[in-house]
Chains A and B, each alone.
Chain A
Amino acid sequence: MTDHETHSYDVLVIGAGGAGLRAAIEASAQGASVGLVCKSLLGKAHTVMAEGGVAAALANVDERDNWQVHFADTMRGGQYVNDWRMAELHAREAPDRVRELEAWGAVFDRTDDGRILQRNFGGHKYPRLAHVGDRTGLELIRTLQDHGIHQGIEVHMECTITRLLTDSSGVSGAFGYERERGRFRVFRAKAIVIATGGFGRAFSVTSNSWEYTGDGAYLALEAGADLMDMEYVQFHPTGMVWPPSVRGILVTEGVRGEGGVLRNSEGRRFMFDDIPELYRAQTADNEEEGWRYTQGDRDARRPPELLTRDHVARCIRREVREGRGSPHGGVFLDIAWIKDRVPGGAEHIKRKLPSMYHQFKQLAGLDITEQPMEVGPTTHYAMGGIRVDADTQSSTVPGLYAAGEAAAGLHGANRLGGNSLSDLLVFGKRAGEHAARFAADQGEPLVEEAQVEAAVAEALEPFARHQTDGSGREGPYQIQFDLQETMQDLVGIVREQAQLEEAIERIRALKERAAVVGASGNREYNPGWHTALDLRGLLAVSAAVARAALLRRESRGAQFREDYPDKDPVLGQTRLLVRRAPDGELEIERTTVPEVPDDLRQVIEENR
């Protein structure tokens, strides 16, 4: 028997970003004993990087806003393949979830009459994003963290889960290691909430932090759960492109919300050149109207810079491809031009976008109040993930729940900015609540020693291979680099059959290399070892993305196929599920996108 610490909880939450923290708080409020496991220190999760805001139809700035408009915007942005029920719950409940944060100490920017201020964002009809300058994610995670630490939740920081444990009736726990000493931990749990975020680290240009290695999707897949919508990976249109070492770091959409414009090397606002039919009626057709919109003119329509992220990203790519890009392969994003149009000039920009000012000043030596930024698309968000029930967030495995980016459905084929922070609040709460209820009906789970022993052996394999001759000579980093390059080049913003097929082949070859990867050193805080273990998830998730993208022979939202540039009505009704087949390979099942009921169809029609 291997030495390990064992902890028992009613509900174990894996991941301590916004969704995990919100789930843990709720499960605890329901009376469950709760363990919260996170890969990093508390408060450092990827939520901290969210900038622009949290979308909720509070109607503080424009009283015409309500949940119906938010619902319709979310469905349109997702190209109508969203899970309508999730979109409905999200739009209805987001305002309460935001107000609740204020009760827990959050300090959002204010309107003149002292209410929560809301800003414009891509795809949202009215100013809807509650925000704190351009550091909303920090405010959100810190509020949840500072509230959560007083709710009796046991937190296991810097602890990585490598396996879920199951018994005949569903999940029974999880196995992992803590980073400091590399000691193993077994968590017995009646219910588990996965809130591990996405998998941007499968790509070389990404806004995501190192933690985003697809752990949740992988753990769920191995435990027998379904993934879905894996082909829909969001490329945010504006990441930094220069200098090379910061390529991919996010430049908030808030820059465009505050009046920033995109220009090509000829100085042209190219976003006016291609406005999709779906959005024509609500998009400004001249620069002046677009400017008025950003400054709160309620009769103006939004500028094309605030079209959905999938579209803006492809337009930028087109400009660069056709030789009208900026010196370092992006386009220009100019906020400095508004200086002459707003009181306060440069100071106004610094107050509205302090992090952006700071980020460019420090990392690129550029003053955004004086010069345009260079920006280009960066891998940002996974719309796909674990398939869940809309109301309860339960996966297809009993006792296993998922919330936030790790879960699929809400965003369909493309997520609107601001809908991620609201997603993790609404569905984090729901997952915590239902996991606790489920746990209340369960007896003590049985953890099979054999499963623990197998998990121990698997975790130690990289060391064993390194120490024996023959295999284990290769460390994990080059394999990860090669995977990132493969995904970036072949499964990126524009896809095509031959490239996807090649990607699938390459991932298969990388999997063979990863099967004999070695780790040097010992178990104490050893990133080489950690990366070796992370490869399993990265490779499985990458394979799922490439395979689903290959099967979806159409272009919809974030999935753009050069060989199938149009929407296909049949595929528009088709959802792709990925699961682990008995032979260990991934299998894909086609199901139907659930039909929107008449009353909500009506809401969509009324908001066309």
Chain B
Amino acid sequence: MSGDKRVTFRLWRGDATGGNLVDYETEVSEGMVVLDAVHNIQAEAANDLAVRWNCKAGKCGSCSAEVNGMPRLMCMTRLNELPLDAPITLQPMKAFPIQRDLVTDVAWNYGVKKRIRPFKPRPPDAEDGSWRMVQADIDRVQEFRKCIECFLCQDVCHVLREHGKHSEFIGPRFLVYTAALEMHPLDTEDRRAELKDEFGVGYCNITKCCTNGCPEEIKITDNAIIPLKERVVDAFYDPLAGLRALLFGGRHG
């Protein structure tokens, strides 16, 4: 991209009752990101354009939207990555109810998190109340804790987006969250029964859309969801345990 040029942005405007795409033209210059253009439009032509954002540095995960149909953080999407000769379409995330313009109601996510049993550490290892953990044992958990809760993984997950299984499936974000708790070296809680029955880990069919869209590059499917599925299988579908139960009686999940 060289020099300033005028570019058309096709923004979805409306609320829960409906809306439509509206074209705005604004000048773009070197290094600009999509959110800059939205701010320009807001200042120049649409003072009341609703957009959620905070840090503008890819750290808070507020400005999630669909840029030309792709789930993106608007603050981290540079305009020179996009074809500027055609209008750039900006739409709100589809997996959540619309509030207004580019803003969706993500409250469901906060409710889901509350349902997951919190961290419960083993007693401290030292008298000052601290623990000892080896770095290698926490690398994986730290990967999961990079999550900025932008909810783009929830947005692209078919189970939520196409099938609307919000009441039966907690979505990739909260499987990552649960994985971070389950794999935390100090945690003593067991969340496998909920994973199977309430959190719907079985719904994930490993298409990796979440992983591909994650701005923090967390390997959601491979490192979080598949190991959780394995833990659930080990706990409830172990064939040897099943055989034992058949022969000697007892639990078979």
Contacts and interface: CB of A to CB of B under 8 A. Distances in A.
Contact of A138 (B59, B106, B121): B59
Interface string A19-59: 00000000000000000000011111110110000000000
B118 A147 contact: yes
Given A44-B61, A146-B113, A475-B47, A525 B128 contact: no
A154 B107 CA distance: 14
B48 A49 contact: no
Interface string A84-127: 00000000000010011011110101100111100000000000
A363 B54 contact: no
Interface residues of A, number: 69
Contacts of B101: 525
B203 interface: no
Contact of A44 (B33, B60, B135): B60
B119 A362 contact: no
B110 A362 contact: no
Contacts of A105: 118-119, 121, 181, 184, 187
B59 A243 contact: no
B228 to A, nearest CB: 18
Contacts of A113: 132
Contacts of A364: 31
A132 B43 CA distance: 37
Contacts of B60: 40, 43-44, 48-49, 209
A315 interface: no
A109 B135 CA distance: 7
B47 A211 contact: no
Most B CB atoms within 10 A — which of A146, A150, A519? A146
B130 A102 contact: yes
B166 interface: no
Interface stretch (A245-253, A282-290, A318-326, A414-422): A245-253
Interface stretch (B83-91, B139-147, B239-247): B139-147
A527 interface: yes
Interface in B70-90: 76, 78
B99 interface: yes
Nearest to A523: B48
Contact of B55 (A49, A100, A149, A521): A49
B121 A103 contact: yes
Contact of A362 (B42, B43, B78): B78
A525 B50 contact: yes
A149 B111 CA distance: 10
A142 B180 CA distance: 12
A529 B42 CA distance: 12
Interface in A460-476: 475-476
A99 B56 contact: no
A521 B53 contact: no
Most A CB atoms within 10 A — which of B57, B141, B142? B57
B32 A46 contact: no
A245 B48 contact: no
Contact of B33 (A40, A211, A363, A520): A363
Contacts of A565: none
A529 B100 CA distance: 15
A107 B145 contact: yes
Given A102-B130, A107-B138, A135 B146 contact: yes
A242 B107 CA distance: 36
B131 A524 contact: no
A326 to B, nearest CB: 15
B47 A519 contact: yes
A601 to B, nearest CB: 29
A110 B99 contact: no
B129 A99 contact: yes
Contacts of B135: 109-110
Interface residues of B, number: 59
B103 interface: yes
Contacts, number: 171
A142 B54 contact: no
Nearest to B125: A114
B15 interface: yes
A475 B103 CA distance: 22
A527 B35 CA distance: 14
B47 A132 contact: no
Given A114-B133, A244-B29, A245-B31, A40 B50 contact: no
A75 B52 CA distance: 39
Nearest to A42: B110
B36 interface: yes
Contacts of B76: 362-363
Contacts of A147: 118-119
B186 to A, nearest CB: 8
Nearest to A529: B48
A476 B76 CA distance: 26
A7 B224 CA distance: 40
B184 A114 contact: no
A243 B30 contact: yes
Contacts of B106: 41
Most B CB atoms within 10 A — which of A42, A44, A365? A44
B138 to A, nearest CB: 5
Interface in B140-185: 141-142, 145-146, 148-149, 181, 184
A49 B57 contact: yes
Contacts of A362: 58, 76, 78
B184 A107 contact: yes
A132 B145 contact: yes
A183 to B, nearest CB: 13
A359 interface: yes
B211 interface: no
Contacts of B129: 96, 99-100, 103
A139 interface: yes
A104 B52 CA distance: 29
Interface of A: 40-46, 48-49, 96, 99-100, 102-105, 107, 109-110, 113-116, 132-133, 135, 137-139, 142, 146-147, 149-150, 157, 180, 209-211, 242-246, 249-250, 354-355, 358-359, 362-365, 475-478, 481, 519-522, 524-529
> Which A-B residue pairs are the 10 nearest by beta carbons?
A243-B31, A521-B48, A528-B47, A114-B132, A105-B119, A525-B50, A477-B43, A525-B100, A110-B135, A44-B60
23 contacts: A40-B62, A42-B110, A44-B61, A44-B62, A48-B54, A107-B142, A107-B145, A114-B131, A114-B134, A115-B130, A132-B142, A147-B119, A209-B54, A244-B30, A245-B29, A250-B57, A363-B31, A519-B48, A524-B100, A525-B99, A525-B100, A527-B49, A527-B51
Interface of B: 15, 29-33, 36, 42-43, 47-62, 76, 78, 99-101, 103, 105-107, 110, 113-114, 118-119, 121, 124, 128-135, 138, 141-142, 145-146, 148-149, 181, 184, 187
